[in-house]
């Protein structure tokens, strides 16, 4: 267990950041899942609307350091390509 004040503070910070990151990652994945579900159902309008929410979420998660920027760009590109193929 941590004995120094600075080590105790780092533990508190890491617990808080873990909770925040988990919530952000969960939200991002849920939005991506909604796009994938709409694509699977063949509903282009719903997929486009869901993508309008998912793309900014992916960019935001990149800015926050949850996802690598190339991974987010790749995901957005593939989802957009799937929507356009409908």
32-65 pLDDT tens trace: 999 999 999 999 999 999 999 999 999 999 999 9
**Total domain count for the chain?**
1
Q: What is the pLDDT of residue 2?
A: 82
Residue 36 burial (CB count, 10 A): 16
Gap between the terminal Cα atoms of the chain: 55
Whole-structure pTM value: 0.83
Can you give the residue range of the structural domain that contains 71? 5-85
Percentage of the chain lying above the pLDDT 70 cut:
100
How far is the C-alpha of 47 from the C-alpha of 42, rounded, in Å? 8
Give me the residue label for tokens 């998912």: 54
Please check whether residue 53 is in contact with residue 31, taking contact to mean a CB–CB distance below 8 angstroms: yes
Assign residue 76 the CATH number of its domain.
1.20.58.110
């Amino acid at each position: 267990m941590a004995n120094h004040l600075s080590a105790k503070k780092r533990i508190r910070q890491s617990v808080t950041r873990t909770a925040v990151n988990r919530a952000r990652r969960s939200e991002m994945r849920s939005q991506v899942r909604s796009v994938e579900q709409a694509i699977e159902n063949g509903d282009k309008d719903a997929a486009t609307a869901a993508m309008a929410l998912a793309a900014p979420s992916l960019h935001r998660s990149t800015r926050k350091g949850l996802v690598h920027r190339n991974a987010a760009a790749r995901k957005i590109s593939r989802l957009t390509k799937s929507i356009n193929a409908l």
